[in-house]
Structure 1
């Protein structure tokens, strides 16, 4: 049995079960003397099940239409919830001093990236985001560290945020992504030394309340947005999940849409 066949069979079974459940209530209601005439020719649960199953099997396009409509409604609901979350958390998303900002500080469109330094897709996407800031001098980019791949990722995120306190965030950020191997504390300290940072101070800052607050804010925002993984890009109130092959083109397109139409949320 193929995946699609199995899915279709399961869907038919689920629909039949739902209809039969509703019909069972009808049968109970029908059994009262006052409503017996509404029962029609259907006398029991098995008969209803057979009729529904036969009809759906002979008309499978109904299942396709139902699935399409369900997907549309779910996406619409998800978009509404996400726009609500963006509006309610706009300051923390777009204007928090806890996050490093690249590009034009007063840019007319803000792009927010949620990422993990040990996320392969985030690593692959980094040049596209940097290309955007190079080619569009009105874009503002906000970086949100979201270390979801364990302790090494958390140490890398802490290292970047600590480097921010010494004015070297972007240099640390780019090296953590561009250099081979896992991003961890050892790599952070080596890069910090190469960048001429005060390494003992950086180690101290990595455990500071300021860094802890920045990470806590990113985790809370990710939860509010229902974020399922990294990377995620917010362009105003528009989103790009993951790192598609045409990420740069999608970023440019979404920036232009927001620039032209504005942001529905409080971006």
Structure 2
């Protein structure tokens, strides 16, 4: 995401450093090293940079935009490499993951989601519908509690429900619920989904569940993903944010969409 003009100015110290560095580098090309400048010369260079910024503030904006583009490009390249390295991990359905669709489908979508994320709640019906309509798609859900303690409680319930083959049922019920989610409401919701509520609450405290959540969050960060929902298409393309059913269908049809993308 490119910064707005107002937000760019919060990066003034960084931009001054960048511009000063450019000025010093250019001038030092005519000297043996940077230490050859006298205090007076250094003072003059700083004055030139400040004067240039006053006369043409777009210099500052251009420097920030350039640095931001370089950062985004570097992040995308890093994500591409990480996706290649993590392909087997991404496409492997763990005991604490959820899965819908055709297990043998040629297209795999991995969704990282937080149960309290409103955009995750918005995209969930789209993913469920896609899996029903397209027999060439399977969707793997990896829950990541990144929105606080309530997210962790709900994430534990969802991951633990996999032990009773109730991951997707519990995920949807929790994310659709309008009630405050506590251990008691988790038990109630579990029973409504024909699961053993007492067993579920006990399983939520298992070390394997704790480790699974930690591993999911680490994988999310390793991929350079900053928020949820985030979709990984065929371990080659990252789609950040909520997307519509039609957009997902278009992405899956685009066989050339191989390079990884990330925000």
Is 1:3 equivalent to 2:6 in the alignment? yes
The answer to whether the 8 Å contact 1:16/1:53 transfers is no
Alpha-carbon distance between aligned partners in 2 of 1:11 and 1:207, rounded to the nearest angstrom: 45
**For residues 119-158 of structure 1, what are the structure 2 equivalents within 5 Å?**
119-158=117-156
CA shift in 2, pair 1:27/1:154, >3 Å: closer
The answer to whether the 8 Å contact 2:121/2:176 transfers is yes
Aligned to 2:198: 200
Alpha-carbon distance between aligned partners in 1 of 2:11 and 2:155, rounded to the nearest angstrom: 44
Alpha-carbon distance between aligned partners in 2 of 1:62 and 1:85, rounded to the nearest angstrom: 35
Is 1:75 equivalent to 2:90 in the alignment? no
Alpha-carbon distance between aligned partners in 2 of 1:5 and 1:96, rounded to the nearest angstrom: 42
CA shift in 2, pair 1:182/1:114, >3 Å: farther
Query: Which segments of 5 or more consecutive residues in structure 1 lack a partner in the other structure?
Result: 32-42
**For residues 171-190 of structure 1, what are the structure 2 equivalents within 5 Å?**
171-190=169-188
What is the total number of aligned residue pairs between the two structures?
A: 250
Alpha-carbon distance between aligned partners in 2 of 1:187 and 1:58, rounded to the nearest angstrom: 62
Which structure has the greater CA radius of gyration? 1
Q: TM-score, normalised by structure 1?
A: 0.78
CA deviation map 1:219-252 (0-9, x unaligned): 2212312332222221232222233xx5434323
TM-superposed deviation, 1:102 = 0.9
CA deviation map 1:21-41 (0-9, x unaligned): 55588563267xxxxxxxxxx
Alpha-carbon distance between aligned partners in 2 of 1:152 and 1:12, rounded to the nearest angstrom: 39
Correspondence for 2:251 among 239, 244, 254? 254
Aligned to 1:84: 81
Alpha-carbon distance between aligned partners in 1 of 2:246 and 2:198, rounded to the nearest angstrom: 42
Correspondence for 1:28 among 15, 28, 35? 35
**For residues 34-45 of structure 1, what are the structure 2 equivalents within 5 Å?**
44-45=41-42
The answer to whether the 8 Å contact 1:111/1:234 transfers is yes
* RMSD across aligned positions (CA): 3.1
Aligned to 2:51: 54
TM-superposed deviation, 1:7 = 4.9
Query: Which segments of 5 or more consecutive residues in structure 2 lack a partner in the other structure?
Result: none
Q: TM-score, normalised by structure 2?
A: 0.79
CA shift in 2, pair 1:64/1:93, >3 Å: same
Q: Secondary structure at the match of 1:254?
A: helix
CA shift in 2, pair 1:255/1:199, >3 Å: same
Aligned to 1:34: none
Q: Secondary structure at the match of 2:116?
A: coil
CA deviation map 1:184-214 (0-9, x unaligned): 4222211111122223322332223442342
TM-superposed deviation, 1:4 = 5.9
Alpha-carbon distance between aligned partners in 2 of 1:190 and 1:204, rounded to the nearest angstrom: 14
Aligned to 2:210: 212
